[in-house]
Amino acid sequence: MLDDFEKELAYCAYCPKLCRHVCPVGNAERRESVIPQAKMAMGHMARNGTVSLTEDYASVFFYCNGCGLCTEFCEHDIPVSEVLFEARAEAVARGVQPKTLQNFADRFYARNERLVRKLHGLVDEHYFVEEAQVAYMPGCDLIDDSPDDVQKTLDLFAAAGVDYVSIMESDLVCGGYPLWAAGYQSEFRHVAEEQARRLSGYRKVILACPACVYTIRHVYPKFGVNVTAEVVHVSEFLDTIAHRLPVKQTVQAAYYHDPCYLGRWLGVYEPPRRLAGLVTRKVLEFAHNREQADCCGGGGLVPDVAPQTASAIAERRLEEPNQAGVGVVVTACATCVKNLGRAGRDMEVLDIVSLLHRSLE
Amino acid sequence: MIGTEEDVTQDLTRAVGGEHVSSRPSDVMFYARDCWARRHLMPDDPPRHPVWVVWPGAASEVARVLQVAGRHELAVVPYGGGSNLVGGAGFGDDRPVLVVDTKRMSRVLELDETSLIVQAQAGITGGDLDEYLRVRGLFVAHMPTSLSQSTLGGWLATRSAGAFTSRYGRIDRVCMGITAALPDGSVVRTRVAPRRATGPDLMHLFLGSEGALGIITAAHLKVVRVSKVRVWLAGGFKELSQAVAAMADIMSSGTRPVVASIADPVVALRHSGQPSFMLVCSFEGDGELPVVQRDEARLLVLAHGGAYLDPAAASGFWTARRNDVFGDIIARAESRVIGEVDIGADWRHLAMVADDARGRLESMGCGVTMELGFFGLEGGALLCKWQLPEISDPEDVGLRQDEALAIVLDAARRGGGAVAHHRGVGRQRSAAVRAQLGNRFDLFADVKRQLDPKGLMNPWLTEGA
Ligand SMILES: Cc1cc2nc3c(=O)[nH]c(=O)nc-3n(C[C@H](O)[C@H](O)[C@H](O)COP(=O)(O)OP(=O)(O)OC[C@H]3O[C@@H](n4cnc5c(N)ncnc54)[C@H](O)[C@@H]3O)c2cc1C
Ligand code: SF4
Ligand code: SF4
């Protein structure tokens, strides 16, 4: 309900555009209507009845990567993307969501089914152990777009002598972030409840997708759903066993790109850097890094709604390594790998898991 | 308008490409507003929206857009960051409006690190320009508080001033030349050399023209090397007149402060623990020079009866200014009515103008805070902010706001000062500026008629002239 965010909407509506410069979507589009202040002002006007939402008016809510840069900048800590995701739900409820997101839930479930089958084809069946205490959940973009990284992750666990991690046996490979971001809240709640039941069968679950770690840890509870298992990102887990990884430095230099959900939203900055440092002589920092890191453009379903904008954001992010003549960018999120990789042309963009695997002795 | 809306859309599409033209209601509605609190920042939908927004990528495209506007007799309003506080985004008459958003023209075109001159397209935001320069050990000698929200073109079009104005001058001193597209669709470049005596300078006609004469598409600006040392000075004074006299002497002493400001006692109290007028200066450079300059300025503070305060109060005041803007958001969202305006006066009248405005606003029941800054050798600006007392009848709010604004502008006039120092004129002050300029304004209207015979460009400035 937008009413829950009355104060946040009003603050932004009256703000003299103070955070406009940090918004990746606003910067790529150059349209006034997609800077954070305007998107929130639209929500404010929709809430107070000044505008009645049409597909066009509501479209601005979907021009958000959920990157959190505006919130980081704002002295009032306004959670703009959370409010905009709520506004998306309002749009869905009125049937005025963008065309590309119509029937999104059906497509989500169909993709899920496909990915469940694909996952079983990717790794040997012995990795699926019902009684396991600790499970690994690769997540949709990893299975779909970086399928080799699933086995590579398992190889890294084995190389460090960790033999107790199984792959999470489930008919759901996703924590539901895409449904939340698309504004399909009742479907999201359903997936959250189902997934919480499955997750709670384990003591610890290691996820490859930062957005789903965030969703399970912080969004589920807002929907009244709690998970008893400890949910960690794969980089956090690998960091705890890194001393046992038989790797050597094989890469001269690589930039580390902070995924928004892993960095700003979960506060995980150092573990992936430490891991990259094990195998890279020089881990280079973007001028905007950690809390200030720029987005890759892949979050918040922007690639579904505005693919060219998502690419433009990625291209802008890659300008720095391009200019420095460094050909490798490492990150810790399959969505970032996908979106940066598409824009990368001559740039090698890879997940930390891939980088470590390449350097196994 | 000549032709139909479809005709115009087709012509604009030919000029800049279809993906850079929009008539979507969600787009045009945000171009009917800017940061003028009185109307545009209000979250209610302003009554009149433009019909088209275009995003040209270069001067030649802007020129083509203006030719289309001329052919169809549209009203044209340039739009940079839309951060102006004076209502620059409004339109005066019933013609369909075409907004030209400059932000796709956002590239640095040339950097001369020997002569310290940068040329950039007019739609680059100050933040992007600054970032480009900082990694090269340089910065743009113009630093408005709205750096990241405003564009180079907007600075020039409003004759703006920035935090470092006391050292490097307002934008009219920082700018060395412009490229502009004229209403007839031609492009003019004014820069022939860094300094010139080649007759009247067209550039200065465009500075402060607020989109009434054409569209600035690029400019050459001075840049400065980042210095290694920055030291702060804070001095407390019982009377504003003492602080102003001390600042006047500092400015003419050759100590060349970079940041220079005088804060109100209520603000000073938060940072220094003293409810006195606080003089704040920073001195920047390499080696010993900034410290020598600071010590020299400190003597001037003492000579004018000031007390030496902890320099941390000065730096604290400076960094906290950002929070003041965030504080205003709360006030506005809570429907408290605040207003602010910038006026200018010379050293002789500055304190008098400030006291006059404060006295009259307070007798209206307003809470008042003031900051003096943006100094030059001859004087500086007074930023006056007020909060109206609670008003029971909402109908009265506009009237009372007008009354408060009129008080401050009148104080400026009585002190022989300017009714707009650096934020431009806009709808907020067009009547006041016209009244102050008298027949000089008619001259400007004549120039506009010559350059823009069809009156395409942002018409407010000459409305009724
Ligand atoms: C928080 C905050 C702090 C501020 N601090 C300062 C400050 O320290 N100093 C200061 O001077 N101002 C300040 N301002 C006011 C504002 O930022 C300036 O007036 C700025 O110069 C406007 O730039 P813009 O790109 O946003 O222009 P806009 O608001 O888009 O436009 C301003 C006017 O110029 C015209 N225009 C814009 N671009 C062009 C162009 N390329 N060619 C021709 N005409 C054009 C427009 O039609 C309009 O009339 C502040 C504003 C805010 C919100
Ligand atoms: S998030 Fe904060 S800075 Fe951004 S528009 Fe809202 S109030 Fe302004
Ligand atoms: S969360 Fe990121 S993409 Fe969304 S409005 Fe804020 S800065 Fe823009």
Q: Is B154 in contact with B81 (CB distance < 8 Å)? A: yes
* Gap from CA of B136 to ligand 3 centroid (Å): 28
Q: Is A234 in contact with A207 (CB distance < 8 Å)? A: yes
Chain A: give the shortest CA distance to residue B104, in Å. Answer: 7
Lowest average pLDDT, out of B39-43, B337-341, B354-358, goes to: B39-43
Burial B374-394, CB ≥16 within 10 A → b, else e: bbbeebbbbbbbbbbeeeeee
Strand partners, A331: A351
What average pLDDT does range B22-39 have in this prediction?
A: 90
| Per-chain mean pLDDT for chain A | 97
Predicted confidence at residue B175, as pLDDT, reads: 96
Q: Whose CA is nearest to atom 2 of ligand 3?
A: A67
CA pair distance B352, B415, nearest whole angstrom: 7
Predicted confidence at residue A344, as pLDDT, reads: 83
Q: Which helix (H) or strand (E) element contains residue B247?
A: helix B240-252
Three-class DSSP category at B383: strand
Give CA torsion, residues B74, B23, B91, B38, to 10 deg.
Answer: -170
Predicted confidence at residue B1, as pLDDT, reads: 86
CA pair distance B319, B199, nearest whole angstrom: 43
Contact A16 B322 (CB under 8 A): no
Structure letter (DSSP) for residue B422: S
Mutate to test the pocket of ligand 1, among B34, B326, B423 (most ligand atoms within 8 A of CB): B423
Predicted confidence at residue B165, as pLDDT, reads: 94
Mutate to test the pocket of ligand 2, among A6, A7, A40 (most ligand atoms within 8 A of CB): A40
Closest CA relative to residue B338, chosen from B322, B361, B355? B361
Predicted confidence at residue B445, as pLDDT, reads: 87
Lowest average pLDDT, out of B3-7, B42-46, B110-114, goes to: B42-46
What average pLDDT does range B299-306 have in this prediction?
A: 98
Predicted confidence at residue A342, as pLDDT, reads: 94
pLDDT at B43 over 90: no
Predicted confidence at residue B397, as pLDDT, reads: 84
| Per-chain mean pLDDT for chain B | 93
The residue that leads in pLDDT, B301 or B88, is: B301
What average pLDDT does range B292-303 have in this prediction?
A: 98
pLDDT at B59 over 80: yes
Lowest average pLDDT, out of A243-252, B285-294, B348-357, B394-403, goes to: B394-403
The residue that leads in pLDDT, B192 or A310, is: A310
Closest CA relative to residue B350, chosen from B222, B234, B246? B246
Q: Does A18 sit in the ligand 2 pocket, CB within 6 Å?
A: yes
Q: Is A25 an interface residue toward B (CB < 8 Å)?
A: no
Q: Nearest 5°: phi and psi at B314? A: -70, -50
The confidence band for B332, taking pLDDT boundaries of 50, 70 and 90, is: confident
Q: How would you classify residue A52: left for phi > 0, otherwise alpha for psi between -120 and 50, otherwise beta? A: beta
pLDDT at B92 over 70: no
Q: Whose CA is nearest to atom 4 of ligand 3?
A: A64
The residue that leads in pLDDT, A234 or B93, is: A234
Report CA A358 to chain centroid distance, whole Å: 24
DSSP-assigned letters across all residues of B171-231 = HHHHEEEEEEE-TTS-EEE--SSSS--SSS-HHHHHTT-TTSS-EEEEEEEEEEEPPSEEE
CA pair distance A134, A127, nearest whole angstrom: 12
Q: Is B179 in contact with B80 (CB distance < 8 Å)? A: no
Q: Does A15 sit in the ligand 2 pocket, CB within 6 Å?
A: yes
From chain B, pick out residues whose CB is under 8 angstroms from the CB of A56.
24-26
Give CA torsion, residues B140, B143, B146, B152, to 10 deg.
Answer: -40
**Residue that the structure tokens 């992007």 belong to:** B128
Predicted confidence at residue A104, as pLDDT, reads: 98
Predicted confidence at residue A147, as pLDDT, reads: 97
* Gap from CA of B166 to ligand 2 centroid (Å): 30
Q: Nearest 5°: phi and psi at A320? A: -65, -55
* Cα–Cα distance list, B205 to A22, B451, B453 (Å): 34, 11, 17
* Gap from CA of A34 to ligand 2 centroid (Å): 13
CA pair distance A336, A349, nearest whole angstrom: 9
* Gap from CA of A11 to ligand 2 centroid (Å): 7
Q: Is A173 in contact with A209 (CB distance < 8 Å)? A: no
Contact A56 B333 (CB under 8 A): no
Q: Is B436 in contact with B374 (CB distance < 8 Å)? A: no
Domains in chain B (CATH in brackets) are 5-103+448-462 (3.30.43.10), 108-225 (3.30.465.10), 229-322 (3.30.70.3450), 325-424 (3.30.70.2740)
pLDDT at B465 over 50: no
Structure letter (DSSP) for residue A295: P
Cβ-proximal residues to B392 (8 Å cutoff; 6+ apart), any chain: none
Predicted confidence at residue A346, as pLDDT, reads: 87
Q: Does A293 sit in the ligand 3 pocket, CB within 6 Å?
A: no
Q: Is B127 an interface residue toward A (CB < 8 Å)?
A: yes
Q: CA angle, B388 as apex, B385 and B389 as ends, to 5°?
A: 140
CA pair distance B304, B307, nearest whole angstrom: 9
Chain A: give the shortest CA distance to residue B440, in Å. Answer: 33
Q: Which helix (H) or strand (E) element contains residue A330?
A: strand A328-331
The Cβ-side half-sphere exposure at B313, using a 13 Å CA radius, reads 26
Q: Whose CA is nearest to atom 6 of ligand 3?
A: A70
Q: Does A81 sit in the ligand 2 pocket, CB within 6 Å?
A: no
Q: Whose CA is nearest to atom 28 of ligand 1?
A: B82
Chain A: give the shortest CA distance to residue B368, in Å. Answer: 21
Q: Is B47 an interface residue toward A (CB < 8 Å)?
A: no
Q: Does A81 sit in the ligand 3 pocket, CB within 6 Å?
A: yes
From chain A, pick out residues whose CB is under 8 angstroms from the CB of B128.
21
Query: Per the structure block, which two tokens stand in for B379?
Result: 């004087």
Report pLDDT digits (tens) over B231-261.
999 999 999 999 999 999 999 999 999 999 9
* Ligand 1 atom closest to B206 (CA): 43
Query: What is the complex's ipTM, to 2 decimals?
Result: 0.95
CA pair distance A351, A357, nearest whole angstrom: 10
Report pLDDT digits (tens) over A152-206.
999 999 999 999 999 998 899 999 999 999 999 999 999 999 999 999 999 999 9
**Residue that the structure tokens 């694909």 belong to:** A118
Contact A17 B35 (CB under 8 A): yes
Share above pLDDT 70 across residues of chain B, in percent, rounded to a whole number: 96
Strand partners, B234: B280, B309
Q: Where are the alpha helices (H) located in chain A, listed in sequence order?
A: 6-13, 24-29, 36-48, 55-59, 69-73, 80-93, 104-122, 140-145, 148-159, 177-182, 185-199, 210-214, 234-241, 270-279, 302-305, 307-324, 334-344, 352-358
Query: Per the structure block, which two tokens stand in for A218?
Result: 């912080």
Predicted confidence at residue B357, as pLDDT, reads: 97
Q: Is A6 an interface residue toward B (CB < 8 Å)?
A: no
Q: Does B145 sit in the ligand 1 pocket, CB within 6 Å?
A: yes
Three-class DSSP category at B76: strand
Cβ-proximal residues to B42 (8 Å cutoff; 6+ apart), any chain: B33
Closest CA relative to residue B232, chosen from B305, B284, B270, B306? B284
pLDDT at A242 over 90: yes
CA pair distance B124, B371, nearest whole angstrom: 29
Contact B43 A44 (CB under 8 A): yes
What average pLDDT does range B277-306 have in this prediction?
A: 97
CA pair distance B135, B127, nearest whole angstrom: 13
Closest CA relative to residue B88, chosen from B96, B80, B59? B80
Domains in chain A (CATH in brackets) are 2-97 (no CATH), 104-239 (no CATH), 246-358 (3.40.50.1860)
Chain B: give the shortest CA distance to residue A312, in Å. Answer: 13
Do the strands B307-309 and B229-237 form a parallel or antiparallel pair, or are they unpaired?
antiparallel
Report pLDDT digits (tens) over B398-440.
889 899 999 999 999 999 999 999 999 988 888 898 888 888 8
Q: Is A38 an interface residue toward B (CB < 8 Å)?
A: yes
